[in-house]
Amino acid sequence: MTLDELALALAPAIADSAAFDGWSDAALVAAAEMAGADVDVARLAYPGGAMDMIAAWIGTVDLAMAEALPPEKLATMKIREKIAALVLARLDAIAGREEALRRATAIMAMPQNVVRAGKLGWASADKMWRMAGDTATDYNHYTKRAILSSIYAATLAVFANDETEGKAETRAFLDRRIDGVMRFEKAKAQLLKGNDQHFSISRFLGRLRYPAR
């Protein structure tokens, strides 16, 4: 087993221990001992400490999402359904580890970790859009990922503290956010109608300032 493979293998158990010990060496040691892995080797799998542990945990969430929603299953869904299903699959993979999520979020919010946390959020959004079949290479590639990463982050915050049955509050929150994005996409499509199919910031701002009557 390579160090990368070991990092992924131990990540769920580290997340379980993180609920009590935080994303710390103690959590790593507990996970390694439980798996029968050499503790010193396990430490080598996470040279960056807590953020490496969290990144590996996110990697296991990526894998769980892909397993829950294979291409043939996604192919039967509309785009809105795909995005909702992909986010919910990630939440299902995290379920039961809300305290670990809260502690991970606090670590990722630290000034020294904000840049990497942003990259991890972007990567999660990118994986979801790619699985949904997105092939955009223009500015849409970036706006879609920026919007989805913000939606996912906000949904995680609600999920972490949601005590309603079946996480009903989280699901309702996600539905509202996705509805908002769909309305935005429709409005954007209207702006792109006509001979010029390129998005114009000046034209967009002009329409905001001088709306059509």
Residue 61 maps to which CATH number? 1.10.357
Within-domain flag for 142? yes
Within-domain flag for 29? no
CA dihedral 93, 96, 98, 100 (to 10 degrees): -80
Within-domain flag for 30? no
Residues 27-36: contacts with CB within 8 Å, 24+ apart?
27/53, 28/53, 35/9, 35/10
Within-domain flag for 19? no
Within-domain flag for 20? no
Q: Which two tokens stand for residue 156?
A: 């995680």
Interaxial angle between packed helices 98-108 and 114-131, expressed in degrees from 0 to 180 and rounded to the nearest 10: 120
Say how far apart CA 109 and CA 105 lie, in whole Å: 6
Between residues 192 and 7, the one the model is more confident about: 7
Which range, 43-52, 173-182, 188-197, is most confident?
Answer: 43-52
Within-domain flag for 24? no
The total number of structural domains that make up the chain? 1
The answer to whether 91 and 170 have CB atoms below 8 angstroms apart is yes
Within-domain flag for 33? no
Within-domain flag for 34? no
Among candidate residues 89, 82, 41, 85, the one with its CA nearest the CA of residue 64: 89
Neighbours of 51 (CB within 10 A): 19
For 45, phi and psi rounded to 5 degrees?
Answer: -75, -15
pLDDT in tens, 103-128: 999 999 999 999 999 999 999 999 99
Q: Domain range for residue 85?
A: 48-209
State yes or no: pLDDT of 25 exceeds 90: yes
Task: Give the type of residue at 139.
Answer: Y
- Of the pLDDT bands very low, low, confident and very high (cuts 50, 70, 90), residue 156 is very high
